[in-house]
Amino acid sequence: MKTPKDSAIEMREMVMPHHANPQNTVFGGTVMSWIDIAAAMVAARHCNRPVVTAHISDIDFIAPVKIGYHVHILASMNYVGRSSMVVGVKVVAENPMTGERRTTTKAYLTFVALDDMGKPVEVPGLIVESDDEKRRFANAQERSKAKKRLKSKLK
């Protein structure tokens, strides 16, 4: 059993001109790539196995990020099933001239741990202690149930 703190990470990037879209703010695909990498690192740290991205849900781009801003990508384990793991990611942009920060993107990613044959394998359980950890765990369960309901409705 592990806690979210055992695998949580914070990754930092600076938005460079080659990261920009035609509006001269950060390209969404670049942010998605940073999110996927950060979340995969959390999943691998939790299970100490190779992991693959199975699903990305509820990715919200809340505000644009300017070139030159610093980006903090905060990722932590929210929920664990048998072989699947849900990682929550929050992206916070910082204006380095003022120190002002705001949340610009949020997303939830499901990873599956693989055994040596590339098949899903059981992962360690998750101990949730703080109110925030318990809320994230319950929200991830609810999101998973909602996804299953929608999938069967849209068949």
Ligand X SMILES: CC(C)(COP(=O)(O)OP(=O)(O)OC[C@H]1O[C@@H](n2cnc3c(N)ncnc32)[C@H](O)[C@@H]1OP(=O)(O)O)[C@@H](O)C(=O)NCCC(=O)NCCS
Question: Which residues are at the interface with ligand X (CB under 6 A)?
Answer: 52-55, 81-84, 110, 112, 120
Tell me whether residue 12 or residue 55 sits nearer to ligand X (CB atom). Answer: 55
Question: Are the C-beta atoms of residues 31 and 61 closer than 8 Å to each other?
Answer: yes
Q: Which residue is nearest to ligand X (CB)?
A: 81
Tell me whether residue 11 or residue 67 sits nearer to ligand X (CB atom). Answer: 11
Q: Which long-range contacts (CB under 8 A, 24 or more apart) does 99-103 make?
A: 101/72, 102/62, 102/63, 103/62, 103/63
Tell me whether residue 25 or residue 76 sits nearer to ligand X (CB atom). Answer: 76
Least Å distance between CB 56 and ligand X?
Answer: 9
Least Å distance between CB 132 and ligand X?
Answer: 22
| Closest by Cα among 61, 46, 153 to 110 | 46
Least Å distance between CB 146 and ligand X?
Answer: 12
What tokens appear for 58 in the block? 């509820």
Tell me whether residue 65 or residue 126 sits nearer to ligand X (CB atom). Answer: 126
DSSP string, 111-135: EEEB-TTS-B-----B---SHHHHH
| Closest by Cα among 58, 73, 89, 74 to 26 | 73
Least Å distance between CB 59 and ligand X?
Answer: 14
